[in-house]
Amino acid sequence: MSLRLLTASALALGLVAFAPLASAQDAATVERAIAIRDAALRSNIALDYVTQLTTRFGARPAGSKAEQDAAAWAADYLRAHGFQNVRIEEFPLVGWERGESSAAIVGDHAQALVAAALGHSPATPTGGVEAEIVRFASMEDLQAAPDAAVRGKIVYVDLGQMHPMQDGSGYGPQTRVRGAGPGVAAAKGAAAFVMRSVGSDEDRMPHTGTTRYVDGKPTIPAFALSAPDADQVSRLVALGEPVRMRLTSTAHTYETHSQNVIGDLPGASRPDEIIVLGSHMDSWDLGTGAIDDGAGGAITVAAAKAIADSGRRPARTLRVIFYGSEEVAQPTPRTGNGGGVYARNAPPWTSTSSPARATSAPTGSMRCGCRPARKAPTSRRPPRASSIRSASWPRTASRPRAGSMSGLWGRWACPSSAWPRTEPAISTCTTRPTTPWTRSTRPN
């Protein structure tokens, strides 16, 4: 990852939080933005942060000692770079450790496979699971299959190789299979679940990711095959002969804690109005999380510093948050979800609350923004999730209208402790919105 890419990303994020739309900017604003950009391109704080984070701590699974130690280090890093009110916000978590896992075709055409256990999936019995596989080309096919066709077998779902898309549209359907597939297979009596790795690469490096709990309980052992191994299994199935597979996993869960790291650059004249720049600290265990989401943290730190060091102190407070436990599902809402923890611990909203905006580093999420109500709303259904994603519009929200600021900040309701959470939070706000910001109504 290049220094220029990191700093350019930081500036794109920082200027979104700092300035109005380009069409509404005057010459002085544009000149100032260019000066901030050029200064950021001469800085190496983003590259320094992500390099130190990944080198010092490596992989940072949610709730692990590595994640906890990285959070303590990151707090010191923020202090050393001038952030104030730096604190660590702990919360309970059900952690998960992979242990050892293996996969192989047995019987005719016996051969080893490269696979990884999926996050928060349970271990196999001692000796593993061995059964005939039944292949499905989609989640819908699995859902429509009679229980008798699945019972006692290893379900294999292969949507085909994911292709890189600028809008990330190939990712969502694959992650739906990863999250919900094991539960659907378990309900039909399957012995285990296997899928093609969610990724556009074609090497023998399987991807992991979280599975979901069902009614607070784990489902069945679940695995992801590397892309070439998924191709191999699908070709074997296409021969028309029964294919048997053996799977082993020693994964287990344990009680631990995760944490959010929070640091502020206080605003000059409106410090109670807070712009949140968010990323997440945790990663999966199969890599160092340099991109997901070490680079996100690097970008937010660099963006905040670029604005704060530009010679003109922002009116509003810039708050950088490294959320813990973004990657993993949990048995109940009482544990995990650093974004939700932050939202629940935020001061309660009132009709006179100060505006708050929130944004994530560019890892596929959108930005959301809130402004105070002119009067307290009397009826507004809360969103079903506290995250806002580019490929998924909340049912409670309307799509952006041309010519309005809702295309940038959106018309979003913001999370509350009483509102249910169905996905990990990417962006969180501390106040509820009323009307969308248009060019004529957006606060300065």
Helix (H, G, I), strand (E, B) or coil at 177: helix
Look at residue 52 and tell me whether its pLDDT is greater than 90.
Answer: yes
Q: What is the pLDDT of residue 166?
A: 86
Separation between Cα atoms, residue 314 and residue 79, nearest integer Å: 19
Q: What is the pLDDT of residue 169?
A: 87
**Closest Cα to residue 209, out of 147, 283, 148?**
283
Q: What is the pLDDT of residue 315?
A: 93
Strands (E), 174-269: 192-196, 222-225, 244-249, 252-265
Separation between Cα atoms, residue 257 and residue 298, nearest integer Å: 23
pLDDT mean over 134-145: 97
- Strands across the sheet containing 368-370: 84-97, 252-265, 316-323, 270-280, 356-360, 368-370
pLDDT per residue as tens digits for the range 365-384? 323 333 333 333 333 333 33
Look at residue 242 and tell me whether its pLDDT is greater than 50.
Answer: yes
- Strands across the sheet containing 111-113: 111-113, 101-106, 244-249, 129-136, 154-157, 192-196, 222-225, 115-117
Look at residue 116 and tell me whether its pLDDT is greater than 80.
Answer: yes
Which of 6-20, 123-137, 276-290, 313-327 has the lowest average pLDDT?
6-20
Q: What is the pLDDT of residue 103?
A: 98
Q: What is the pLDDT of residue 369?
A: 31
Class of domain 3-95+255-407: alpha beta
Domain 99-250 belongs in CATH node 3.50.30.30:
yes
Token output for 259? 């944490």
pLDDT mean over 141-160: 97
Helix axes 296-308, 27-41, angle to 10 degrees: 130
Look at residue 348 and tell me whether its pLDDT is greater than 90.
Answer: no
Domain ranges of the chain: 3-95+255-407, 99-250
The per-residue pLDDT of the chain, averaged, comes to 80
172's enclosing H/E stretch is helix 171-187
Contact 92, 79 (CB under 8 A): no
Q: What is the pLDDT of residue 337?
A: 93
CA pseudo-torsion sign 434, 438, 441, 444: positive
- Any alpha helices (H) in 59-151, and if so which ranges? 65-80, 139-144, 147-150
Contact 294, 20 (CB under 8 A): no
Percent of the chain with pLDDT over 90: 65
**Closest Cα to residue 304, out of 334, 337, 265?**
265
Q: What is the pLDDT of residue 393?
A: 28
User: Quick one: pLDDT band at residue 8, thresholds 50, 70, 90?
Assistant: low
pLDDT per residue as tens digits for the range 409-429? 222 233 333 333 333 333 333
Separation between Cα atoms, residue 422 and residue 418, nearest integer Å: 13
Count the neighbouring beta carbons within 10 Å of the beta carbon of residue 162: 20
Helix (H, G, I), strand (E, B) or coil at 309: coil
Percent of the chain with pLDDT over 70: 73
Angle at 291 between CA 38 and CA 221, to 5 degrees: 165
Look at residue 257 and tell me whether its pLDDT is greater than 70.
Answer: yes
Q: What is the pLDDT of residue 6?
A: 57
pLDDT mean over 189-210: 95
pLDDT per residue as tens digits for the range 25-49? 688 888 888 999 999 889 999 999 9
Rg (CA), the chain: 23
User: What burial class does residue 145 get, using C-beta atoms within 10 Å of its C-beta: 0-12 exposed, 13-18 middle, 19+ buried?
Assistant: middle
Separation between Cα atoms, residue 296 and residue 280, nearest integer Å: 7
Look at residue 64 and tell me whether its pLDDT is greater than 60.
Answer: yes
Helix (H, G, I), strand (E, B) or coil at 174: helix
Residue found under tokens 């998960």: 96
Q: What is the pLDDT of residue 3?
A: 53
Point out which residues pair with 102 in neighbouring strands: 248
Separation between Cα atoms, residue 211 and residue 253, nearest integer Å: 13
